[in-house]
Amino acid sequence: MDIVVRSVLPVVFALIVGGIILLALGKNPLKYYGDIVVNGVLGGNLQNSLVMMTPLLLMAIALIVVFRGQLWNLGYDGQYLLGAVFVGGLAPQLIPKIGLGPSYIALIVLSIAVAAAWTLVPAWLKARFGTNEIITTLVMSSIGVGGTGLLIEYLFQDPAQRTPQTRTMNTADMLPYIPGTKVHVGFIVAIVAAVVFQFILSRTSFGLRLDIFGVNPKAARHVGINSRTMTIVLFLISGGLIGLAAALDVMGQWGYVRNNWNPAYGDTIMPFVFLARLSPVGSIPFVLFYSIFATGGTVASIDSGLSTDFNMVIVALILVFMTITEYVGSKRELGQSYLPDELRDAVRRPFAALTGRSAQA
């Protein structure tokens, strides 16, 4: 019941309110949601949703790792784009020289290293001086986004294109598909990563130390956990996973990176990380839901004459209802009613009047 209330109901309420908004705009919500299912699942479209799910799931795991330690890595945009631009800029030149297999490994490792390194400054400032990591990661993200544009224009620019972008990978050089599908093998990597990190966080001493550190860093020091080292390690792991997402996304789906492009995966996936209760495996169905919603929602919005940004309205509504259910759920854990006092009294008052008792009784 607790899982349903805190994880599923926010999504249900968001879809209901989204439907009311569609009605107010003169649109048919049943047709809109039906188009999402058709364009996100049916007719082979589920494969497109699974391709989109790959970087989203890795991004979700990256956020889960730091959130379990009560840390905030909000620099995902800069970390992702820096990893992506090195992959997109070097892949067309590297693959013909050393072959596919070694190139894949080298590019993935490079993307992981670049994205992880971009977390070092916020991690060190947090570990050494206790600086607010929300501010420092956002600042580093802005620098990374701007730096990506400079790298494209002055280092990786495709001379055959007037638009600032890297060279485009040959179709034959992209990541191979899972046999019988049009889903690249990066999807398997993302699922395996979710299972591995679920095991690490729930079945290893590192996961136990992480949870202790997340609950109380001061208490963690008393049991021999070095909070400074843990902070830096968590940021490096988070950044590395974001770099992995960037490498697989570029080599599996896009094939190039252009200036002023930012998929902003972290912003869209964050609510679902909390709905999954910070569980890597638990995040899989939520990430799949959003991937279907985003893939089918783009077409549904266009067909309905709406902006594609309407999907973000649904995401925002999920955040709102998640906050409400978390609030009432916390009161229930403290032995109180799941409803706020005023709402509970309003519900009880009619029944009290029928029985001749006061609302307080």
Question: How many domains is the chain built from?
Answer: 1
CB contact set of 112 (below 8 Å; sequence gap of 6+): 83, 240, 243, 244, 247
Determine, yes or no, domain membership for 275. yes
What's the pLDDT at 340?
55
24 domain residue, yes or no:
no
Q: Is residue 73 part of a domain?
A: yes
Vertex 118: Cα angle to 205 and 87 (nearest 5): 105
Is 303 contained in some domain? no
Q: Alpha-carbon distance 136 to 142, whole Å?
A: 10
Contacts of 96 (CB under 8 A, 6+ apart): none
pLDDT above 70: residue 345:
no
**170: confidence class by pLDDT, cuts 50, 70, 90:** very high
Closest CA to 44 of 159, 138, 182: 182
Range of the domain at 92: 53-284
pLDDT(38) > 70: yes
The yes-or-no verdict on residue 330 having pLDDT over 70 is no
- Please state the rounded mean pLDDT for residues 140-153: 95
Determine which of 43-47, 255-259, 330-334 has the lowest per-residue pLDDT on average: 330-334
In a domain, 299, yes or no: no
CA distance linking residue 12 with residue 4, whole number of Å: 10
Give the number of other CB atoms < 10 A from CB of residue 187. Answer: 22
pLDDT tens-digit readout, 97-124: 999 999 999 999 999 999 999 999 999 9
List, for residues 255-313, the tens digit of each pLDDT value. 999 998 999 898 888 888 988 889 999 999 999 999 998 888 888 888 888 887 888 88
Per-residue pLDDT, 359: 44
pLDDT in tens, 198-225: 999 999 999 999 999 988 877 788 888 8
Q: What is the pLDDT of residue 220?
A: 83
170 occurs within a structural domain? yes
Closest CA to 246 of 46, 88, 50, 356: 88
pTM of the model: 0.88
The answer to whether residue 355 scores a pLDDT higher than 70 is no
177, β-bridge pairs: 184
- Please report whether residue 191 resides in a domain: yes
Residue 263 lies in a domain: yes
What average pLDDT does the chain have?
88
Model confidence at 324, in pLDDT bands (50, 70, 90)? confident
Residue 358's pLDDT is what? 45
